[in-house]
Amino acid sequence: MASVINLDPTHVAPGSTVLGQAIKHIGIGKHGSKPLPADLLEACRQALTDPNTHPLQRGAFIGALLAKGPTEAELTLESAIGKDAFGHPTFLIHKLCTDLHAGLLPIAVRLVRGHTLSVSEAEQLGDYLFGNEPCEAFRGFAASIMRVRHETNDEYLGLMRAAERTFTPGFRLNQTVSERPLVQLAEPFDGVEHSYMITPLLANWFERRGYGALSMVGRSGGPKLTLNAHDLYMHLGCQYMQSRHELTEPLMPYGWVLDQKALSPALNRWVDRRQVLLKRPFLATLEKVLNPCGARILVTSVFHITYQMKMAELALMAGFDAAIVMKRGLEGTLAPATSRASGVLCAVRTAQGHLFFQNFEADRPEFASFRTDEDPDVPNPTAADNAALIRKFVAQKVTGDEHFDNRVRYAYALMERGMEWIEGQLKAPPAR
C-alpha cells in the first residue's frame, strides 16, 4: 500500500496545506466549527481540484463541511466537485470517491445524509477502513463526518468488532489469562507537550494493590508529537508484549506494556493517516477501550470532559467489568491537575448486569491537601527526564520536584477512592 504521509511533491506539512488549514476551522466538532474566511474558501476551491492534494485531506474536508452544515458561501464549493453535488449524495460519492467499492455506497450515502449507522453497518465500514482496499478519500471522509457529528455507541461497537478482527494471532487466538485480575491503563496516545506523565507509577501502584497492570501504548497520531507513554516506557527499558502468553511470566515493576504495532498492524497504519487528518478521529477513543488481554478494569482519561461518560459506557461495552475515567488531567492524561477541578468517574457492571456510576470530585475534603494555585508548565519535556523522575519516585517516594510528587500522591488518592468503591460494588478485591 502506498504511503499516506506523502502529501504532495513539495512535502508540505499536513497542517500547512490549504485544506489542512481549512480542516482546523471546520473539523472541530458539533459546536466548535467556524465558517471559512473568504480567502481560505477560494484557496480551498483550487485545492479541491489540485491533483497534488492528498485524498485523505480532500475527503476529510468535504466530510467536515457537510457534517457541520455549509454556509451559503461554502455551498459554492460544489463547483469544484460537480453541480448540485452537495444535494445529491450518490453523485457526490461517485465524484469524490471514484474508486470506492460499490458495496460501501449505501453506507456512504447514509453518512452524507446525516444518518447514524447501525452496529452491522459500522462493522462493515470498519472492515473497509482497516483493510487494504483503495480510496483514501473515503477513509478521510467517513472519519471526518463521524468525528464532527460525534460517533454513537452503536457505531463504536461495530468499529470495535472490526478492529478486533485485525489483532495479530498472539492476541486474537491466544486466550491466556493472568493469575491476577488485570487493570488496563490507557490515555491519549499523543501524550503531552507541557508536562510529565505518571502512567508507569500508576501501573506500579495497581501491582502493589494485587492486580496485574497492562499499559496500552502506541505511536502518536498527533496533534501532539513531543512525548507519550510509548516513549516513556521505552526509556524505562520495558519489554513490549508480543502475545497473551506473556501474561504468565513474572511481573515487571511497571507491569506489561502492549504496543499497538504488535497488537494490530492495521491500527498502526492509521497513525500515519491521523497525522494527515489533523483532527483526532474515532480511533483516538476506540484504541483506549479495546480489550485484547481480557482486563477486568479500565483506567483511562479523556481530553474533552463531555466524553467522560461515553468512555465509561464504551469500557463496559468492551467487556470491562469496571472503569475509572480521569477528567481534567494534565493535557488529557492520567496525571490529575491540582489547580483545576480534576476528578474521576467510576463505573461498574455487576454480575447481575446492573450498571452503577459514581463521581469523586476534587472538591472533596479528603483531596484538599493536594490542591495548588497552579500547574507549572514544563518546557520541552523529554522521555529521559520523565523516566528519571519515575525511577526516583519508585526508589525513594520523593523526587525533589514538589509538583510532580504532589501530583503522583493525588493520583494515588483518587485511584484509592475509586478502587475502594469499585471493589465494594464487585465484591471481589484481589488477594494482596
Predicted confidence (pLDDT) per residue in 101-111, tens digit: 999 999 999 99
Measured CA to CA, the distance from residue 177 to residue 103 in angstroms comes to: 39
pLDDT digits (tens, 9 = 90+) for 54-75: 999 999 999 999 999 999 999 9
Tell whether the model's pLDDT for residue 5 goes beyond 60: no
Measured CA to CA, the distance from residue 329 to residue 411 in angstroms comes to: 10
H-state helical runs in 27-118: 38-49, 55-68, 89-96, 105-112
Exposed / middle / buried, residue 209 (Cβ in 10 Å: 0-12, 13-18, 19+): middle
Q: Which of residues 217 and 177 earns the better pLDDT score?
A: 217
Measured CA to CA, the distance from residue 51 to residue 393 in angstroms comes to: 54
pLDDT digits (tens, 9 = 90+) for 225-255: 999 999 999 999 999 999 999 999 877 899 9
The confidence score (pLDDT) of residue 249 equals 86
Angstrom CA distances, 139 to 222, 371, 399, stand at 17, 44, 46
Task: Please give the model's pTM, rounded to 2 decimal places.
Answer: 0.93
Mean pLDDT confidence for 129-156:
95
The confidence score (pLDDT) of residue 8 equals 46
Least confident among 103-117, 196-210, 291-305: 291-305
The confidence score (pLDDT) of residue 175 equals 86
pLDDT digits (tens, 9 = 90+) for 165-193: 999 999 998 888 888 999 999 999 999 99
Tell whether the model's pLDDT for residue 148 goes beyond 50: yes
The confidence score (pLDDT) of residue 419 equals 97
Whether the Cβ atoms of residue 228 and residue 187 lie closer than 8 Å to each other: no
The C-alpha cell 510509548 sits at: 230
The confidence score (pLDDT) of residue 7 equals 43
pLDDT digits (tens, 9 = 90+) for 28-61: 776 667 889 999 999 999 999 999 999 999 999 9
The confidence score (pLDDT) of residue 105 equals 97
What are the backbone dihedrals phi and psi of residue 285, each rounded to the nearest 5 degrees, phi first? -90, -45
The confidence score (pLDDT) of residue 432 equals 60
Q: Which of residues 429 and 233 earns the better pLDDT score?
A: 233
The confidence score (pLDDT) of residue 345 equals 96
Kindly state the percentage of the chain with pLDDT values over 90.
81
Mean pLDDT confidence for 357-378:
95
Cross-strand pairs, 322:
297, 348
Kindly state the percentage of the chain with pLDDT values over 70.
95
Mean pLDDT confidence for 325-352:
93
Helix, strand, coil percent values for the chain (each to nearest 5):
50, 10, 40
Tell whether the model's pLDDT for residue 4 goes beyond 70: no
Tell whether the model's pLDDT for residue 3 goes beyond 50: no
Which one, of 197, 201, 230, 252, lies nearest residue 398 by Cα? 201
DSSP H or E run through 432:
none
The confidence score (pLDDT) of residue 30 equals 64
Cell numbers that stand for 204 in this block: 506500579
Measured CA to CA, the distance from residue 423 to residue 432 in angstroms comes to: 13
Tell whether the model's pLDDT for residue 6 goes beyond 70: no
Please, what is the average pLDDT of the chain?
92
